Structures are given as structure tokens and as C-alpha cells.
Amino acid sequence: MVDIEHVRLVVSALTPLAVVVLGYAFNRRLKQYQVQRERERAEIERRHKLRIEFTLDAHFYGPKRGYYLSEFLINVHNKSRVKYDFTRITLRVRGLGEDAVPTLWKDREPRLAFPDKLFETNTVPEDLGSIFVEPEVNQPVTFVTRIDDAYDYILARAEFYYGQSGDEEFGPHSVERLFALEPANAS
């Protein structure tokens, strides 16, 4: 027969052990819950996702010997907590000549057609390979060229893809602006 004193001894020895095991299990479950809530909050706030504000501006100087000196200013503001490397930021410029009649883009009405493709280029210097923008940094990318003074208006579009080597998972991030070719120093 089991002695009552032995039972009391075993129970008193096992009670702290049971408290430790149950406390450990409860603490572990609580930490898992907290980690899951933090992940959900980070996903909602997109803290660790790329968030980039992308703008485009231009200044024109001249005309000089039949051309406007043209300065395109692409601004990349990294609003995320993730550093981003750009291997390609494409700048495409189309023109509407001084004698051209403004017409709508066929099958894309009511968009205006800019029939002349002036150029398309990568604004990331080839010798650099890439440029990076740290979190919370507002990084300008400047591209200078010339545009024939036969154009009154141009349509400029800049774009990049999130991800490596043109990863199209999210499509391009782009900005498009219309500019009148007037000198920046005109009043």
C-alpha cells in the first residue's frame, strides 16, 4: 500500500516542475502570438517592402543653334526601410512638332499622340552598373541632352521595375509628364 507521506512528497516535488513546464509552454505560445502579430502589423504597414516616390521634372535652355539644352530630373525618394539598387531607369521622350496637329492616339483615345520618338535611354550610367538609394533618402538622377527646336511639346516618361533585371512581378513604376519647350530662364 502506498504511504500518504510518499504521495505528498512526490506531489510536492512535481508541483514546481509542473509550474515550470506549464510556464515555459505558456511563455512560448505567447511569444509566437506576439511574433505573428508583429508580422501582420509589418505587412499592413509595409515596413519592409519597397515604397518609392518617383517624380520627373525638366528644364530647357536655349534655343542654341537649333536645339534646346534639356535637363531631365528624375527624383527617387525611398520611403521604405529597405535599400534599393537601380540597374535601369528608362527615360523615353516623344515629341509633337511645331507644325503637327494635335491628334488622339489611335486605339488609346482620349490620349494625345506624340508621333515622334526622340530617344529612349537608361539614365543609370553604364560605368556605375547601378545606383542605390538608402532608406529615407531623396536621390536625384539627372540626365542632360539636346532636343531639336522644331518641337513645341514633348512627353517624357521615366520607369523602373522593382526586383532584379526587370522583374515584372509588379509591373513598372512609372511617371509621365508633358513639357512645353520654353527656356527655363524665360520670364
The yes-or-no verdict on residue 166 having pLDDT over 60 is no
Per-residue pLDDT at 187 exceeds 60 = no
Dist CA 150 CA 159 (whole Å): 26
Q: Which residue has the higher pLDDT, 141 or 37?
A: 141
**Residue whose grid cell is 522644331:** 150
| Backbone Cα Rg of the chain | 31
Q: What is the DSSP letter of 128?
A: T
pTM of structure = 0.67
CA 180, CA 114: separation in Å to the nearest integer?
13
- Cα(127)–Cα(140) distance, rounded to whole angstroms? 18
What are the grid coordinates assigned to 24, written together?
515555459
pLDDT at 75 over 80: yes
Return the bridge partners of 131, or none.
86
Mean pLDDT rounded to a whole number for the chain: 83
Range among 1-5, 123-127, 176-180 rated most confident: 176-180
The CB density around residue 134, as the number of other CB atoms within 10 Å, is: 10
